[in-house]
Amino acid sequence: MGAIAGECYHAVMRVAVNPPAAFLALDFETANRSRTSACALGLVAVRDGMVVATETFLIRPPRPHFEYTHIHRITWEDVRDAPTFAELWPRVASYMEAADFLVAHNAPFDRGVLERCCAHYGLALPRRRFFCTVQIARRQWGIHPTRLPDVCRRLGIALVHHEAGSDARACAEIALRAEREGWRPSLAAEGEKT
């Protein structure tokens, strides 16, 4: 009986002292320079230190003007019949509402796309802290340069760069690795938030 009680006590203590966060890693691809031109979104939900859901969406932007096909290989023909950001929003918002915070690589870009798309369609954006895996990689491991392929190469994370689902998964893996090594959003420096 004593061993069982002791095991329960230690399990409770471990959770109370260092609880893993629930977070959402995300990555947008845009059709052009406009932050409202999201054409793909990758989402990776993490809870209790494990990936619990992954989704990748093609998105029909407001205009058919594509400048960045050479980067992400997405064309207007690929998204012509895809849902708009507003049509996807209920699903995306449910992921965000379940997360304690959000992570992205070069988070100011992804946060800007998220905010501009919500503003464009008149959608209420849940307030969540946003952390940048560029800053996490620099502070946690001293990685420079910190482009996503550089960080993934250094940490041994698989990546198909500019594929929204793969980029989001890589961001989740970076944050999980940092979390296992002691990084916590509650302890993060202001510079890691965006």
Strands 23-30 and 38-47: antiparallel
pLDDT at 47: 95
Residue 73 lies in a domain: yes
- Tell whether 145 is covered by a domain: yes
Q: Flag whether 14 is in a domain.
A: no
pTM: predicted TM-score of the whole model, two decimal places: 0.86
Structural domain count, the chain: 1
Q: Does 1 reside within a domain?
A: no
Q: What's the confidence (pLDDT) of residue 186?
A: 76
Q: Do residues 23 and 100 lie in contact, with contact meaning Cβ atoms separated by under 8 Å?
A: yes
Cis-peptide into 90, omega within 30 deg: no
CATH of the domain at 91: 3.30.420.10
Count, residues in the chain:
194
Q: Which domain holds residue 160?
A: 20-192
* pLDDT class of 136 with cuts at 50, 70, 90: very high
7 belongs to a structural domain: no
Residue 155 lies in a domain: yes
In whole angstroms, what is the distance from residue 67 CA to residue 192 CA?
30
Residue 185 gets which letter from DSSP? Answer: G
| pLDDT reading at 13 higher than 60 | no
In a domain, 15, yes or no: no
Q: Tokens representing 43?
A: 């989402």
**Cα separations in angstroms, 184 against 19, 110, 128, 162, 177:** 10, 21, 15, 27, 11
